[in-house]
Structure 1
Amino acid sequence: MEMLAIPHFASAHVLIVGDVMLDRYWHGSSNRVSPEAPVPIINVSEEEDRPGGAGNVAINIAALGGQVSLVGVVGDDDAGALLKRRLDIAGIRSDFHIAKFKPTITKLRVMSRHQQLLRIDFEEQFDADDNLNLEDKVFPVLPKAKILVLSDYAKGTLQDCQTLIQRAKSFGIPVLVDPKGGDFSRYQGASLLTPNINEFEAVVGHCTSEQDLISKGLQLIAKLELGALLVTRGEMGMTLIRARQPAIHLPARAREVYDVTGAGDTVIAVLASMLGAGQSMPEAVALANLAAGVVVGKMGAATVSVSELRRAIHSEQTYDRGIVSEEQLMHVVEVARANGERIVFTNGCFDIIHAGHVRYLNDARKQGDRLIVALNTDASVTRLKGPNRPINPIDRRMAVLEGLESVDWVVSFDDDTPERLLSRVKPDVLVKGGDYNADQIVGSEIVKAYGGKVKVLRFFENCSTTSIVNRIRQQ
């Protein structure tokens, strides 16, 4: 797989229309409880103001070096004036309609020791009377833009998305929408919709599997005449769905998650910047996924820089491992094979990880370049081992295996045997520990049929989860 390229973002002129707001932070120490009520006393030592909402999308694009124009609604107040100054300093061309009788949307967060103790919102819903002249501000700028972003926080700025979408399409300008609410029909005809999984399921219903998510996504694309759908899924990464093309699943890349505030703004900002600079949709999504992994490791609504993206790309090429879904596994295996790497596969319950497991997995890893551990789900373990197993639930078992240096990818499967998964992955080597012949290993016929190898690794004496459990019960 070729390394992702970071284009010259200055060539990307993005027009953003949406709900702008001021994110205000008060930082201070908290060492006392108020005598007036059981609440902490915060001694405020620092105040911080940042553009939020659509303003945060603009700040993210500007941080990458892109050209940004921003249209929204603010109040006739100090917060609106401060927001304008912050955007001007960042080099963002903002043109706001002033709502005479409504405040600028402001979110005040009180912070102590990097923890949010309280959030206070100052806002009133904007209506048609408040943004009557919005189109007059958008239409003159639109022909000069390469991408239109609609940043919807359901605050009332985007009263008529269809007029904006249709006007952009008449100029051949792609429209990216960060949606809100349960009515996605207002975004009909958009080039790309980027709901998170909760927003998506609120519209299409609960998704019971990866395939169900894809199927419902394709139905939504057809119904609303969308170009594509990118569902952001938190710790499960992202899924890009397009008509007549295979879905692309990208696993989450965050090493540590401190704050998810504004992560969606960063995603759509990177998408717009990449597409505006002439990159393909899969490339744009791949970089947006890396950017999300960077920004959630920061406190508050943050931005990602080009240098941070370069480091993330480098890390992506040298460190791609962890817990994955089945579809995400297929993607990373494809990448590994393109790099000429041999794939090793093993499976089991791995209920209580002991020294025998660790030594076995170390030996398994030596059989190739990448080791996949397929883990039976809780229901599958119960069917195989009885009603008192597993001892540890699937999330804990996967977390322990992920932490082992020998293991590259951990995936769960609900079948009684791994045969279906083996048929999809087609590993170069299937390994199993024990004292039986290779022909006795479940799935060996499948692997041998396409030319793969089956290996039995040495059995470690006196190491057994069952014996450990029995000894504990005897105690």
Structure 2
Amino acid sequence: MKNAFPDFRQANVVVVGDLMLDRFYFGKTKRISPEAPVPVVNIERLEDIPGGAANVAMNIASLGAKCSLSGITGQDEAAQVLEERLNSVSIECAFHQTSQHPTIIKSRIISAHQQLLRMDFESRFTVESGVGMADKVTPLLVNGGVMVLSDYDKGTLHDPQQWIALAKANAMNVLVDPKGNDFSKYRGADLITPNLTEFEAVAGEIQSEADLIEKAKKLIADFDIKAVLITRSEQGMSLITNDNTEFHLPAIAKEVADVTGAGDTVIATLAAALAAGQSLQQAVTLANVAASIVVSKLGTSTVSEPELFAEYQRHQGTRQSDHSFAGAVTVEQLKIAVDQAKKRGEKIVFTNGCFDILHAGHVSYLHQARAQGDRLIVAINSDESVTKLKGKGRPINTADRRQIVLAGLADVDWVTVFEGDTPEDLLREIQPDILVKGGDYDKKGVVGWEIVEGYGGEVRVMGLTENCSTTAIVNKIHQDR
């Protein structure tokens, strides 16, 4: 049974953290300044967007959840603009204003979709700046729900324990988007969401999937944290909890336009989903989908409830309800996913190839392959291997782009890259139930057939669509020039 999409209108989230105003100046560049070798930008439009913890709040409100927000601002025009933008989407603001520091502003100059310059107007908030802020936050907690601590290391959250204790006193779960190399200050939180770089700064360099899990469990034990969600860019997300469960989600393949604010979208979706009654794994699944949407947008962006619903339904419609969405995975992640699938009794199908330029023959073949079982793995040759096999000028598309295209097909569950000339080592590690290859030869012409049959698997040869060839396509392009 598929998981029900949450009713975000039932959710209540309180966000506490570093507030900032993202100010974008858009214009055209037609000449170089005579004063210095820099472009002259004729500003045509100014856009102010809530940033930092305010962007987290915007994402929560965009999903339809109730959101309250508190943080430190100056007593200035930027704070007024920030509050106006937030109030316009029904976010309740409880700013703690100080005359000692201005509101943080990050200004960017954009021309032809390129950021030419960023100017930061900020000074770190002091302990004194936040005195009395609890009086602003406490009234926001009467309706319970979830508290998010959005830490950008600007001084608002100099003492996270104050807010964690306040939330716990009101029976609220606490989610933290951390900063810095000292996670002890988040002791007692229910969930922290570091990216891989932030996690390694605290736990040490990660050598393998097993090492990541071990270090995450140590962090959980050391700091009395219930769960850690590590966001890993193109390697997806890994959730490790204090009850020793592990949950890995591959990244949903999308063309990345901008990763700005992706972490804000992740923790906002997590908070809203948990406040709406979803389980932690269901919330992480939704956050993974939301992240795939927001990175395809330019600049600081949010994900709306209809957008999330449509993307969620698209994946739920083409995948079983175990949350293992299609995606590009490392070999280690693939091993974990396959092991979980086998425990569910699913039949694993494996095929491999260069898949340099995806054409009708590939799509037809992969559809046939998927029909042989419950899950389809596509293992692609590395760029070096393709060059060795196909010659100079190949591949046309690099491995990461080939993964994106293949993972976008409904018939494909996981796409990974293997090193070397053949996938034989990968076959030994994964041990799929069925090895599939397209061609007009018998099974003994399939690389790795003896490995698969040796452990009791099957080898099947599928037909290929006639007159479809990547090499032929490349040659035709050259001829038509």
TM-score bucket of the superposed structures, by smaller chain:
0.7 to 0.9
| Deviation (angstroms), 1:209 | 1.8
Give, in angstroms, the shift of residue 212 of structure 1: 1.6
Q: Tell me the SS of whatever aligns to 1:167.
A: helix
CA deviation after TM superposition for structure 1 residue 234, in Å: 1.2
Aligned pairs, how many? 455
1:141: Cα distance to partner? 2.7
Q: What residue in structure 2 maps to residue 221 of structure 1? A: 220
The alpha-carbon deviation at position 91 of structure 1 amounts to 1.1
* AA in 1 matched with 2:334: L
Please give the residue correspondences for 1:417-428 in structure 2 after superposition, counting only pairs within 5 Å: 421-422=426-427, 425-428=430-433
Q: Indicate conservation of the 8 Å contact 1:4/1:287, yes or no.
A: no
Cα offset, 1:362, TM superposition? 5.8
1:259-408 equivalences in 2 (<5 Å): 259-317=258-316, 321-329=326-334, 343-347=348-352, 350=354, 363=365, 366-369=368-371, 371-375=376-380, 396-397=398-399, 399-400=401-402, 403=405, 408=412
Could you say which residue in structure 2 is the equivalent of 1:145? 144
| Residues 138-192 of structure 1 deviation map (CA, whole Å, 9 limit, x = unaligned) | 2333342211110000000012111221232233311000001111111111100
For 2:68, what is the secondary structure of its paired residue?
Answer: strand
Equivalent residues in 2 for 1:171-250, closer than 5 Å: 171-250=170-249
396, 401, 410: which is aligned to 2:415? 410
Give unpaired runs (5+ residues) of structure 1: 466-475
Measured after TM superposition, the shift of residue 225 of structure 1 is: 1.1
Does residue 119 in structure 1 map to residue 118 in structure 2?
A: yes
Contact 1:344 1:365 in 2 (8 A): no
In structure 1, what is the Cα distance between the partners aligned to 2:396 and 2:186?
39
Shift of 1:343: 3.5
Deviation, structure 1 residue 14: 0.9
Distance 2:415 2:145 in 1: 41
Q: C-alpha separation between the residues in 2 aligned to 1:416 and 1:219? A: 39
**Which residue identity lines up with residue 329 of structure 1 in the other structure?**
L
- Return closer, same or farther for 1:4/1:291 CA change in 2, 3 Å cut-off: farther
SS at match of 2:126: coil
Give the letter for the 1:270 counterpart: T
Counterpart code for 2:36: A
- 2:55: which partner in 1? 56
Alpha-carbon contact 1:127-1:156 (below 8 Å) kept: yes
Q: Distance in 2 between matches of 1:81 and 1:34?
A: 34
Counting aligned pairs with the same residue, the percent is 47
Q: CA deviation at 1:250?
A: 1.3
Structural mapping, 1:438-449, within 5 Å: 438=444, 442=448, 444=450, 449=455
Offset of 1:5 from its aligned partner? 2.7
Aligned-partner Cα distance in 1 for 2:195–2:10: 29
Asked if structure 2 preserves the Cα contact closer than 8 Å seen for 1:149 and 1:175, the reply is yes
CA distance in 2, matches of 1:123, 1:66: 30
C-alpha distance in structure 1 between counterparts of 2:4 and 2:157, whole Å = 34
Q: Give the partner amino acid of 1:144.
A: N
TM-score by length of 2: 0.82
Q: Does 1:455 align with 2:460?
A: yes
Match for residue 435 of structure 2 among 430, 447, 454 = 430
- Give the Cα–Cα distance (whole angstroms) in 2 for the partners of residues 247 and 173 of structure 1: 24
Q: Equivalent residue for 1:470? A: none
Asked whether the 8 Å contact 2:252–2:327 carries over to 1, the reply is no
Q: Is residue 161–residue 186 contact of structure 2 (8 Å, CA) maintained in 1?
A: yes
What is the rounded CA distance, in whole Å, between the counterparts of 1:410 and 1:113 in structure 2? 34
Residue range with higher mean Cα deviation, 334-343 or 27-36: 334-343
Give, in angstroms, the shift of residue 232 of structure 1: 0.9
Write out per-residue CA displacement over residues 383-416 of structure 1, whole angstroms, 9 at most, x where no aligned residue: xx99xx9997999346446646798332134699
- Quick check: 1:168–1:175 contact (8 Å CA) kept in 2? yes
SS in 2 for 1:139: helix
Q: What is the CA–CA distance in structure 1 between the aligned matches of 2:397 and 2:249, rounded to whole Å?
A: 20
Give 3-state SS (helix, strand or coil) of 1:130's partner: helix
Distance 1:49 1:364 in 2: 47
Contact kept, 8 Å, 2:255 with 2:404, in 1: the verdict is no
**Greater CA deviation, 295-304 or 241-250?**
241-250
Q: In structure 2, what residue type is equivalent to 1:427?
A: P
Distance 1:281 1:99 in 2: 37
| Residue 201 (structure 1) shift | 1.1
> 2:74, 2:337 → 1: CA distance?
48
Letter in 1 for 2:310: R
2:474 equivalent in structure 1: none
Q: Which moved more, 1:89-98 or 1:319-328?
A: 319-328
Q: Please report how far the alpha carbon of residue 295 of structure 1 lies from its aligned counterpart in structure 2 after TM superposition.
A: 1.1
Q: Which moved more, 1:364-373 or 1:75-84?
A: 364-373
